[in-house]
Amino acid sequence: MTAEIADRLDAEAARTPIAEIAGYLQSLLGQRMAAYLADVADVKQIGRYQKPQGPKPSLATDRRLRAGYKVARMIEGVYDAETTKAWLFGTNTRLDDRAPIGALREATDDDQFAEVVRAARAFASADG
């Protein structure tokens, strides 16, 4: 994974409408797990975020969705959807043996989000 690709994904995650991000994560992970990643109690909320006139997520939920999108696209760009899901749900030594999806759900500050992004980048760079 080159710095140029990582920068492009940063920009893409920041600019992509949340409706598209929610749709991508729901398609990749399923509605229940996308809601889990975002720390949203009502799983149907992910579907509501996809509607053009739907509700907007809170800042914390928005950050989790965008970070989830970024790491998923990073890994899927090198591997495939199945490997991306396996990485998100598997334990990760770079995250103190936590699953990345859980680390994203619990993230509240820049360092915690960056930790997951670094782990994804390291994984994506292993074959890249």
Number of independent structural domains in the chain: 1
- Using the predicted structure, report yes or no on whether residue 2 has a pLDDT greater than 80: no
Whole-model pTM? 0.93
pLDDT of residue 7: 85
Helix, strand, or coil (residue 57): coil
Helix, strand, coil percent values for the chain (each to nearest 5): 75, 0, 25
Helix, strand, or coil (residue 92): strand
Number of C-beta neighbours around residue 122 at 10 A: 12
Segments forming the whole domain that contains residue 43: 3-127
> Residue 14 — φ and ψ, nearest 5°?
-75, -35
Q: Which two tokens stand for residue 99?
A: 């699953």
Q: What is the pLDDT of residues 54-95, one digit of tens each?
A: 899 999 999 999 999 999 999 999 999 999 999 999 999 999
pLDDT of residue 126: 78
Q: C-alpha distances in angstroms, 56 versus 13, 25, 61, 80? A: 16, 16, 9, 29
